[in-house]
Amino acid sequence: MFRGIFYNKILIGVVLFILVSSIFMVVYAYQLPLEKVHESTLYEYTSKGVFDYIVTLYPSILYEDSTLTNPDKVFLKLVDKVAVSIAYVFDSKPPATEISNTLDVEVLLSHPQVWSRKMSSATIGSRENVVKYVVELDIPLILSLAKNISQAVDLPSSKYTIIINCVAKTTFTLAGVTRTTNFPFSLQMNLDLVGKTIEFSQREFSNTNAQKSTEARETAVHVGFISVSTRLLRQVSIVFLVATSAFTATLAGISVAHLYKVRKSSTLRSARKYKSLIVETSEISGDVSGKVVKVKSLDELAKISESVVKPIMYLKTDNKHSFYVLDEDVIYIYEHEEKS
């Protein structure tokens, strides 16, 4: 009887601890940012004909904040979006007039040596000698487009390529003649559907005057938090909190009802007072052939137990509580029946 009450309280304590933990879990989930923004600054170069780019990945799972230099391969399932920040530095002091600097950007999706499709293009002008542009790529959308084109031409493939072609153009007038100089450069991303990876690589330049800057940092991939993972964590934490709350409320109701039922009985309250004399048993044991003497209260039975130096045996059957003391040829017994 007493052991059941003790374990019941322990169980309530454990469940309340889980409930409090789930509340803290929800608070933590809602403190996480929906998206972690990495502010990357491209260097302002002093030499002409140089460029740099930074690749920012937005993964679809919760990732430890880190920066990867010279990325090789990244699993496709970790990437939702790729943002490529491009910068090109023009000659700041050309011996000419009416100078115009522009950057032409073209994004291609291709099946190597089979088909190619232009996805987007842009022309960016700048009055300064530095031109910057950000290309955003929706990877799931691009993969879907690649599969649809392959099915249309009946040429399935597991490998595709995303190419960002850039041409830096400087138009100027020299001695009454208008001229244009072109500096092409590009970045290539290889999609492997078998290995399920995306690989970044730098292509060869068709114009040797366009060089990758050696005075700037290399390509950097910034990996951080994404809204998908944070929202998922929030949903899981809320479901866990609701489930724990419901279970706690149910268990608390059952426990309170049980404790109330136990404590409303004056007999069982008295039993708690004499628990040092009471021994729980599952069946009546010993010599039970003697004379049976029923007593009126547990207090009276406790006095008999102390006088004969015998324990009070406790037996519960259904709603009936039986307390008895075996003393040679006499059985002293007190019975209490719970009212439903």
Question: pTM to 2 decimals?
Answer: 0.47
pLDDT digit string (tens) for 145-185?
A: 888 888 888 887 888 988 888 888 888 777 778 888 787 77
Q: Is the pLDDT of residue 103 over 50?
A: yes
**Distances in Å between the alpha carbon of 128 and those of 29, 97, 105, 173, 212?**
44, 14, 18, 17, 20
Q: Could you give the CA distance from residue 188 to residue 160 in angstroms, rounded to a whole number?
A: 11
Q: Is the pLDDT of residue 2 over 60?
A: no
pLDDT at 91: 65
**Distances in Å between the alpha carbon of 192 and those of 1, 24, 339?**
67, 41, 74
pLDDT digit string (tens) for 284-293?
A: 666 556 688 8
Q: In what order do the strands lie in the sheet with 291-294?
A: 278-280, 312-317, 320-327, 330-337, 291-294
Q: Could you give the CA distance from residue 250 to residue 340 in angstroms, rounded to a whole number?
A: 21
Residue 69, token pair as written in the block: 């230099």
Q: Could you give the CA distance from residue 241 to residue 18 in angstroms, rounded to a whole number?
A: 9
Give domain limits for the chain: 2-28+235-263, 38-224, 272-337
Task: Residue 322: name the closest of 286, 289, 290, 278 by CA.
Answer: 278
Mean pLDDT, rounded, for 296-311: 79
pLDDT at 70: 43
**CA atoms within 13 Å, Cβ hemisphere of 31:** 6
**CA atoms within 13 Å, Cβ hemisphere of 319:** 7
Q: Could you give the CA distance from residue 82 to residue 139 in angstroms, rounded to a whole number?
A: 7
Strand partners, 86: 53, 133
pLDDT digit string (tens) for 12-50?
A: 777 778 888 888 878 877 776 555 444 444 444 334 445
CB 51 within 8 A of CB 166: yes
Q: Is the pLDDT of residue 209 over 60?
A: no
